[in-house]
Amino acid sequence: MNLKNATDIKFGTNILNIEIPEFLKRKFKTGLDYFDGAMGGEGLTPSTVCLFTGEPGAGKTTMMLTLADQITSQGGLCLFNTAEESLFQTAMTAKRLRLRSGFVTGNTDDVNELLEGAKKIMNKRANKKKQFVMVIDSLQCLDDGKYSSGVKTSGTAIRCLQLITDFCKEHGACAIVINQVNKQGKMAGSNKLKHMVDSHMHLGVEKKEVDLIGCRVLETQKNRFGGCGHIFFLDLGRAGFKLVAKVSAV
């Protein structure tokens, strides 16, 4: 899919005269019920970029590996790029979780190499009709090569996320980008990152409700393409997540 012409709509065009591509109207259910539910219940809208944050040890990578596997089982195409761990470590976790469908992998910290590889995978004949989703672990590990010394500044993450966003809008792809947190459990980096994406999902650890202490709390805090759905309380075990409780979002 190529949406380049969508940016060429004449300035001043009446909003009612803009023809929306049919595939943008069709949401893609990932098959991971608590993820789809937290996103409003209908899944991902093509071209969505989601920032995914979480407390240390909450299980961000475990959830994303499970999500990638489910996307494949639903007929989608998922690229899991990890610059945090080696592919051997990722494969060991995948086997522990007993994933069944798998997904394609990347292991680069160069955002340009990542997007070029993604484009090649998307353009394979067998993949052209599949919804393409990238899971990126993590934003802070990526570099756009602006500085030859390899130094990263606060602007590096912003530039990398902008490139990912532009790619998704142009090709109708989706991206779920893991964003690190600081020692206080708050999102690392500039708040501008939140404004650049379509949705922001957070995985926390319950510390107050007695009956749910230790449960993981999954909620979507921003969603341009739908409601923020429900809040899910999940138990994290060796084999992954299990639903404990669900509450309606206010």
Residue 137, token pair as written in the block: 């672990």
Q: Which residue has the tokens 């993604």?
A: 118
Share the mean pLDDT of the chain.
92
pLDDT, residue 230, reads 86
SS3 annotation, the chain: CCCHHHHHCCCCCCHHHCCCCHHHHCCECCCCHHHHHHCCCCCECCCCEEEEEECCCCCHHHHHHHHHHHHHHCCCEEEEEECCCCHHHHHHHHHHCCCCCCCEEECCCEHHHHHHHHHHHHCCHHHCCCCEEEEEECHHHCECCCCCCCCCCHHHHHHHHHHHHHHHHHHCCEEEEECCECCCCCECCCCHHHHHCCEEEEEEECCCCHHHCCCEEEEEEEECCCCCCEEEEEEEECCEEEEEEEEECC
Tell me the per-residue pLDDT of 48-98, one tens digit each, with 9 for 90 and over.
999 999 998 999 999 999 999 999 999 999 999 999 999 999 999 999 999
pLDDT, residue 3, reads 53
Cα–Cα dist 147/27, whole Å? 38
Does residue 159 register a pLDDT over 90?
yes
Q: Is the pTM of this model over 0.75?
A: yes
Tell me the per-residue pLDDT of 8-60, one tens digit each, with 9 for 90 and over.
789 999 999 999 888 788 899 999 999 999 998 889 999 999 999 999 899 99
